[in-house]
Amino acid sequence: MTAVVETEGLTKFYGKRRGLEDLDLVIRPGEVFGYLGPNGSGKTTTIRLLLDVIRPTRGRVTVLGTDPRDASVRSRIGYLPGELVLEGREKASDYLAFLGAVRGGVPVGRIEGLAERLEADLSVPMGRLSKGNKQKVGLIQAFMHEPEFLILDEPTSGLDPLVQQEFLSMVREVRVSGRTVLMSSHVLAEAEHVSDRVGIVRGGRLVAVEDISALREKAVRRVEFHFDAPVPREAFENLPGVRELRVEGAAVSCTIDGRPDALIKAAARFTVVHMVSAEPDLEEIFLTYYSEEEARHARAGVEKSA
């Protein structure tokens, strides 16, 4: 199957300043790819290169099997820019209807449906839209023509948590329909729940590409069991992946690294009355790729969006 994005040694320098260097990346059809990195790491530069908004200093790139300079590929892409400029007195609904017509006809009902899901007010002149509503209009125009490939630059910025959830459902639906999504973010928490894979950029370089499900399997999680009667410590000792084991009467707690299968089978020999398993903390794994200062910013971002 043709890759949706394929780059080889893709590089962009702004004068002497490095925007992106030697990017080798493949995005496969039907996947949601999270593109993560701190501010200024090269995410927007990558996206602009894919869309031929800027041209590479060197290297090669194809999008949907085509050179991005071929204008015909644009109609197959939905794009949400990071800094959306929407101005003027035209109502958002008229603007979207116009864009829909330019893109070969988008049913009005589809635009209204997306607006309802995102709780967007389209009756307001564009220049008077709030930041959140601008972002919603940006999302609607990216999704409305049901493109094969969605490129979303920081899509959740300015959205409140409930609308963020609705947006993530929209992304999942795109994946279910076999289409492809690239979304950038500076925090993992936004991308983690919908991405199949994530790439991490730092200082203009791709430093890691990880499979989310493999990462989840690798991540350490804390588990607690409560039984109906005290249990012997020996029953839980030396199980694969089990560490920091504490057995106190009828309660057992530990961390588990990898699959919890052996631990669950050990526990199942007794009567379990309650069990707690914390979500693995992927954020901590990712932050090891960041510098201390970047990690502090990313943590602050998570706290803000929580």
Ligand X SMILES: Nc1ncnc2c1ncn2[C@@H]1O[C@H](COP(=O)(O)OP(=O)(O)OP(=O)(O)O)[C@@H](O)[C@H]1O
Q: Which is nearer to ligand X, 145 or 202 (CB)?
A: 202
Residue 24 near residue 206, CB atoms below 8 Å:
yes
Q: Which is nearer to ligand X, 53 or 276 (CB)?
A: 53
Taking the C-alpha atoms of residue 306 and residue 77, their distance in angstroms, rounded to an integer, is: 31
Residue 299 beta carbon to ligand X: minimum distance, rounded to whole angstroms: 16
Q: x/- contact string, 82-111, with ligand X (CB under 6 A)?
A: x-----------------------------
Number of residues that bind ligand X (CB under 6 A): 13
Taking the C-alpha atoms of residue 19 and residue 15, their distance in angstroms, rounded to an integer, is: 10
For residue 173, which of 192, 141, 150 has the smallest C-alpha distance?
150
Residue 167 phi/psi, 5° resolution? -60, -45
Q: Would you count residue 17 as binding ligand X (CB under 6 A)?
A: yes
Residue 155 beta carbon to ligand X: minimum distance, rounded to whole angstroms: 12
Q: Would you count residue 14 as binding ligand X (CB under 6 A)?
A: yes
Q: Would you count residue 123 as binding ligand X (CB under 6 A)?
A: no
CA angle 101, 140, 177 (to 5 degrees): 95
Residue 216 beta carbon to ligand X: minimum distance, rounded to whole angstroms: 25
Residue 54 near residue 4, CB atoms below 8 Å:
no
Taking the C-alpha atoms of residue 205 and residue 200, their distance in angstroms, rounded to an integer, is: 8
Burial (CB < 10 A; 0-12, 13-18, 19+), residue 31, is middle
Q: Which is nearer to ligand X, 45 or 180 (CB)?
A: 45
Residue 33 beta carbon to ligand X: minimum distance, rounded to whole angstroms: 15
Q: Would you count residue 43 as binding ligand X (CB under 6 A)?
A: yes
Distances (CA, A) of 49 to 13, 151, 207, 288: 12, 12, 19, 28
Q: Which of 6, 19, 120, 286 binds ligand X (CB under 6 A)?
A: 19
Q: Which is nearer to ligand X, 15 or 178 (CB)?
A: 15
Q: Would you count residue 186 as binding ligand X (CB under 6 A)?
A: yes
According to DSSP, the residues that pair with 63 across neighbouring strands are 5, 66
Q: Would you count residue 40 as binding ligand X (CB under 6 A)?
A: yes
Q: Which is nearer to ligand X, 43 or 179 (CB)?
A: 43
Q: Which two tokens stand for residue 126?
A: 């564009």
Taking the C-alpha atoms of residue 5 and residue 21, their distance in angstroms, rounded to an integer, is: 17
Half-sphere exposure of 169 (CA within 13 A, CB side): 9
Q: Which of 2, 39, 165, 271 binds ligand X (CB under 6 A)?
A: 39
Q: Would you count residue 44 as binding ligand X (CB under 6 A)?
A: yes
Q: Which stretch binds ligand X (CB under 6 A): 39-47, 133-141, 171-179, 223-231?
A: 39-47
One-letter identity of residue 4: V
Q: Which is nearer to ligand X, 39 or 165 (CB)?
A: 39
Interface residue list for ligand X (CB under 6 A): 14, 17, 19, 37, 39-45, 82, 186
